[in-house]
């Protein structure tokens, strides 16, 4: 697929303990993306998502806001070459 992309993002702020991972999971599944979301030791949340560019762009926009109880301070991200290694989107621990 020529328009398939891979996003690697780190979300900072009040993003742990507010169901951020599960809201991200639902959003990514709704958009038909594959990849994962997980908490990091430093209090951030990491997201790796692959799929059609328009859908990944929607997820990236959503990450800047997050769920109602989150307080996103910043999102650092980079575009990477899609590897097609995921079958679904999941929460990793």
Domains of the chain by residue range: 4-87
4-87 fold: Alpha-Beta Plaits (3.30.70)
Spatial separation of the C-alpha atoms in residues 8 and 79, rounded to whole Å: 6
DSSP helix/strand/coil, 88: coil
Single out the residue of 33, 34, 32, 37 nearest to residue 11, CA to CA. Answer: 37
Whether 10 is a known active-site residue: answer no
Given 10, 38, 39, 53, the catalytic residue: 39
The pLDDT value given to residue 23: 98
Spot the catalytic one: 6, 21, 38, 53. 21
Q: Given this model, what pLDDT does residue 2 score?
A: 59
Kindly report the pTM of this predicted structure.
0.96
Q: Are 18 and 69 in contact (CB under 8 A)?
A: yes
- Mean pLDDT (10-residue bins), the chain, 93 residues: 88 98 98 98 98 98 97 98 97 96
Q: In the annotation, is 38 catalytic? A: no
């Amino acid at each position: 697929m020529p328009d398939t992309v891979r996003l690697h993002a780190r979300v900072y702020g009040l993003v742990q303990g507010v169901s951020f991972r599960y809201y991200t999971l639902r959003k990514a599944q709704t958009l038909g993306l594959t990849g994962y979301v997980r908490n990091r030791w430093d209090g951030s949340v990491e997201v790796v998502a692959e799929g059609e560019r328009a859908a990944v762009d929607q997820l990236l926009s959503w990450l800047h806001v997050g769920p109602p109880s989150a307080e996103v301070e910043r999102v650092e991200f980079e575009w990477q070459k899609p590897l097609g290694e995921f079958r679904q989107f999941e929460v990793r621990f």
